[in-house]
Amino acid sequence: MMLRDAEIAALRQAWGAPGRRCAELEARIIAAPEGAAALVAGESCRAVAYEALGGLPEPGERVRLEVSALARRLGTGGHAMVTARLDALPADPAPGGHLVKARYMPDQVMVTGVDEQDTEHHHVLAAPIGELGLDGAPVVVADLHSSLPAILAGLRSPGTAPGPGPRVVYVMTDGGALPLPYSRAVCALVDAGWLAGTVTAGQAWGGDLEAVSVHNALLAALHVLGAEVIVVIQGPGNLGTDTPWGFSGVACGEAINAAAALGGRPVACLRVSQADARPRHLGVSHHSMTAYGRVALAGADVVVPVGAPDPAGMEGFWARTREQAASACAEREQGERHRLVEAPAEGLREALEAMEAATGIRLSTMGRRLDADEAAFIAAAAAGRHAAALVTH
């Protein structure tokens, strides 16, 4: 850990439901360890505080910050994290559940799990294996958190069922950020009515419902929150190491398996890019090829858009993308064969723009906006469009 003491200068913005808000603060460093090379006294930085972890500090208040990721310029959104309020001892939270998340960390949080004993819905999830499942509900699985708004745009795109679209619940896994309140996109999608609810699984926390496992999170999404479509993606902050197996998105394959084991209809959203400078992520990312082609043992609908114009100067881009997707669907030594599904791309760009206008979200993936990496968002929207078709048939 790299710790600094700071004084809150201002509240920049806050988002989320009362009691679960996340705040971005302007902080001025007032003390750093001797010999510190970065973020020393007098410097300013942006910091994040979670209301559920001790309340939100006020301007003028002293806080302790954890700054290691920020000092190393990692992809944390450019934030220090408030670990303690030095001028306030928050009151104990109201008695609640017994599920501990971020277990054995100094900032572990205790929540009420939808699946823990003596709670309202425990009897539902306690049904014997085989008696409770997903009843064929589509489960869209994606690697990057930035895919979520695009998938929802596809679910509501022209050519899908009329009306506001299917009832969608987001399941956030714990491969990226653990606190769901960190995601401004989720907050905006909930506020706009595009998400009917959220479930945080594993070590992730802060959803409308908390679940011990992805399996129970999926079941709760359907049987407690009434989902017609479930979207499973890690929180912000994808982790990769340029090794074949060392990336947090490998869990996409495990989510496919969970959805299939429970009788759902897995839909694999491809991670695609026209602009990534790293060859391993250009076209269909090696993350998708490994997670779906190697880790997922159950069959899934692997969705590719058809009819999208190739990016400028990249003739044959979508044809090559389809070939890559087809190779992931080829017969495998282990596991059920995937199903290659083509979803029409017509109208998806317009649907993405309409989503931005309706929700206030500006699409961005790995720092690239819609115009810079349109293929990434078109591929995600295509998966959403296909999931919508599964609901209506």
Hunting for tokens 């100067």 — which residue is that? 313
Q: Show the tokens assigned to 192.
A: 């706009």
78/83 Cα distance (integer angstroms): 16
The answer to whether the CB of 227 falls within 8 A of the CB of 237 is: no
**DSSP one-letter code for 62:** E
pLDDT tens digit at each of 393 positions of the chain: 899 999 999 999 999 999 999 999 999 999 999 999 899 999 999 999 999 999 999 999 999 999 998 988 876 668 999 999 999 998 888 888 999 999 999 989 999 999 999 999 999 999 999 999 999 999 999 999 999 999 999 999 987 766 778 999 999 999 999 999 999 999 999 999 999 999 999 999 999 999 999 999 999 999 999 999 999 999 999 898 989 999 999 999 999 999 999 999 999 999 999 999 898 999 999 999 999 999 999 999 999 999 999 999 999 999 999 999 999 999 888 889 999 999 999 999 999 999 999 999 999 998 899 999 999 999 999 999 999 999 955
Q: Say if strands 99-101 and 109-111 run parallel, antiparallel, or are unpaired.
A: antiparallel
Burial class, 183, CB count within 10 angstroms (exposed 0-12 / middle 13-18 / buried 19+): buried
Contacts of 220 (CB under 8 A, 6+ apart): 114, 115, 121, 125, 199, 209, 211
Task: Compute CA 366 distance to the chain's CA centroid, rounded to the nearest angstrom.
Answer: 13
The residue ranges of every structural domain in the chain are 3-85, 122-392
- Report pTM: 0.96
pLDDT recorded at residue 95? 84
In Å, how far are 80, 303, 311, 339, 380 from 307, measured between CA atoms? 43, 13, 12, 19, 15
353/392 Cα distance (integer angstroms): 24
**Beta-ladder partners of 364:** 369
Hunting for tokens 């970065």 — which residue is that? 38
Contacts of 177 (CB under 8 A, 6+ apart): 145, 183, 204, 235, 236, 237
Q: Show the tokens assigned to 20.
A: 């679960």
CA nearest to 368, candidates 287, 247, 245, 282 = 282
DSSP letter for each residue of 339-357: EEEEEE-TTHHHHHHHHHH
pLDDT recorded at residue 392? 59
pLDDT recorded at residue 360? 96
pLDDT recorded at residue 161? 65
User: For helices 147-155 and 184-191, what crossing angle results, to 10°?
Assistant: 20
**Beta-ladder partners of 80:** 47
Contacts of 274 (CB under 8 A, 6+ apart): 282, 311, 314, 317, 373, 374, 375, 376
pLDDT recorded at residue 238? 87
Annotation: CATH topology of 3-85? OB fold (Dihydrolipoamide Acetyltransferase, E2P) (2.40.50)
Q: Which regions of 157-244 does DSSP assign to beta strands (E)?
A: 168-173, 197-201, 209-211, 229-234
